[in-house]
A and B are shown apart, each in its own frame.
Chain A
Amino acid sequence: MHDVNWEPRIVAFFCNWCTYTAADLAGVSRLKYAPNVRIVRLMCSGRVDPQFILAALAGDADGVLIGGCHIGDCHYVEGNLKTLRRFQMLKRMLAEFGIEDQRVRLEWISASEGDKVRSVINEMVEQLRPLGPLALRQQFKDWDREIADGDPVSATPAAAMHETEAAHA
């Protein structure tokens, strides 16, 4: 069982035009939500490279939240459609890793939906609590030890991820 003081940590990638602005609006409206999210601003959710998500998870984030404009409302016409397609592929891959579905989430939040920022973040934090820490870093260590001990079977996908992490650490 994990540490009782453990709090889920979420890295969020928000597009500049809709979701980041919505988060600003949540602030201006003084809505209160869980302090577990760290927002990284990008111009468009289309900029979210799957590697960012992997790097966040490998860096011991417990969840990743991506926020973009509603379909049809993208500031760059259809960047969010590209995000959606990429996201669906990534989800399949993460499932292969054994990473729970709730840990990576994509939400369309328009500039006026400050309240949705609040509810999505609160909901996600609550969904991550029962899952406990992802602790990929520790897992990598364990897997490394297994490789050292000569058991390569369980290490294959994670090793690829580890490289990614190492490259950007």
Chain B
Amino acid sequence: MKYAYFPGCSLKGLGKAYEESLLPVMERLGVELVELDDWNCCGATAYMSVDESKACILASRNLALAEKTGSRDLVTPCSACYLVLNKTKHYLKDSPEIRESVQRALDTAGLQYSGAMPVRHPLDILVNDVGLDVIREKVVRPLTGLKVAPYYGCQVVRPYATFDDAWNPTTMDRLLATLGAEVVPYPLKTKCCGGSLTGTLPDTGLRLTYILLKEAVRRGADVIATICPLCQFNLDAYHDQIARQWGPVPIPTVYFTQLMGLAFGLPESQLGLNRNFVRMKPLPAIPAKA
């Protein structure tokens, strides 16, 4: 299985650990991710606030580059990228004005985009293309006893929830259970983490982050699993401020791909787990094979 791969800026920066764990896990499952040549920023949510059609132009360059590779689907792990690329696809279909602007921009660059290529999330690929059975086979160190709060955040499931429910998604729950982990009921799984508000308006943003952490602790989770680099950052990086304001809520937040890597027996040092502010407790040693 081969897919075009759009990492997005975060995976080269604050979300390095996501890419560091995603690539070997995919490789272990025989999935080849081919990084787009010379991709640019997707535009994220910030760009939409300034100029909608320019945001769509940014995204469309990536979509055009992806189509040029001839791959079946474009895979992007970052929620914001996933949303913006999908949103651009929808806008190109629904808005003649945007279509016109984008076409003009693509012509300028001599690029083409048909609008056909699906933009998908690794979670979707793993559960629906690879399959839980194949994943189960690769598990050498089951996460038995590890209580995980599955946290999806917003933009992968909303508003373009193509592979799961917008309110109560279960794809990652099933995946984590396949790894042997104990999935705790977590009603906040699609609540907002605060997004960029944690940096811009911390009073508002951090409260949202705090609520997520507190409820995970209250539910007895050992770790929060996330699918988005911004969510991971927000849930991981602000424990100091949060503790000062509301009291400590000590719980680590890791990427779901990091947990997969652990279950697959990949060395912790290669999964970027050392990049966390709040570190996950090491798992017990790999049981000797029977």
Direct contact of A and B (CB under 8 A): no
B residues touching A (Cβ–Cβ < 8 Å)?
none
